[in-house]
Amino acid sequence: MDIKQFVDDSIRNIKQTVGDKKAILALSGGVDSSVCAALVSQAIGSHLTCVFVDHGLMRKGEREAVEDVFNNEFDVNLIVVDAQERFMTKLKNIEDPEEKRKIIGEEFIRVFEEEQAKLSDHDFLVQGTIAADIEESGKEGGKLVKSHHNVGGLPEDVNFELVEPLRELYKADVRAAGRELGLPEPMVARQPFPGPGLGVRCLGEITEERLEILKEADYILRDEVAKAGLEYDVWQYFVAIPDFKVVGKVNDERAFAYPIFIRGVISEDAKEATWYGFEEDFLRRLSKKITDQIPQVVRVLYDITDKPPATIEYE
Ligand code: XMP
């Protein structure tokens, strides 16, 4: 595919479709929605409003990276919604993984809906649907959806016209389009990240204390992977924290603190995965750095399970 041609054609088509009206987009910081935002902003500039819902379950630095790029490099309206507290309140005492996923998904739509209601004249909704999403959902046999669409989860009387500029692209082309549009490499090459974010990596009930530990440990892992030049070798790598403590020994005294799990996998399509064999030196360095820098962690465990029988995520 000629990506430059695709970008030029898309910008022209979006300009024609949206005209002098306005569009709204739910920006997650993931590759698809970021590329979509960059593309549509080149077409209609400040007539695009991106809504980024910060549910507090993003990785360290993620919100700032999105704000930096979309405030400084693109001419869009960016609304960042501080929703950490309302998500934490909804998730209090919830331990069941499926229930957590459901609450996070529903609350996300509710926040987006509230922001949408505050805006007028936004007749178009931009979505970063890509070809694989359509194939995977088994819908439409590859045909285009009707452009007038009631968006799942939004009130029935809200009719948006849907704009899905990436529907014919596969992931590699989406990344290429992102590069063509000038998105920074860390955003374009981003590893897969689950919709419910760190919510499914902070196992059992999500608490602020464990979420903070998780973010710090994940940040150290990402930093070490980058320093070792392994970002593109490991398909997905992350940290999970369980909801129990273990015994350790710190400064000659008994400690009762958290273990954390490190997971690194290689995969083609996430349906199956093989655990990644980090070098022994890497694992030693990582473990020491995490326990030195995060006093609440006294044990670092590396996951050596393929999918199947495990899944990539823990919940
Ligand atoms: P599992 O854990 O099922 O994950 O082996 C397979 C891949 O999907 C990602 N994942 C999600 N992606 N929404 C997403 O968009 C989700 O709810 C979700 N849950 C898991 C996971 O990170 C892995 O890449």
Residue 143 confidence (pLDDT) above 90 = no
Q: 3-188: which CATH number, 3.40.50.620, 3.40.190.90, 1.10.510.10, 3.40.50.300?
A: 3.40.50.620
- Protein residue with least CA distance to atom 18, ligand 1: 194
> pLDDT by residue (tens digit) across 78-100?
999 999 999 999 999 999 999 99
**pLDDT bracket for residue 149 (50, 70, 90):** very low
Whole-model pTM? Answer: 0.89
Handedness of CA 262, 265, 270, 273 (dihedral sign): negative
Q: Which amino acid is at 145?
A: V
The domain locations on the chain are 3-188, 201-302
Residues at the binding site for ATP are 28-34
| Ligand 1 atom with the shortest distance to the CA of 191 | 24
Residues 6+ apart with CB under 8 A from 223: none
- Domain 201-302, architecture per CATH: 2-Layer Sandwich (3.30)
Alpha helices, DSSP H only, in 128-279? 131-136, 171-180, 185-188, 208-227
Mean pLDDT (whole number) for 161-190: 94
ipTM score above 0.95? yes
Q: Is 113 helix (H, G, I), strand (E, B) or coil?
A: helix
78 pairs with which residues across the strands?
Answer: 50
Average of per-residue pLDDT values in the chain: 92
Pocket test for ligand 1, best of 191, 312, 314, 315 (most atoms within 8 A of CB): 312
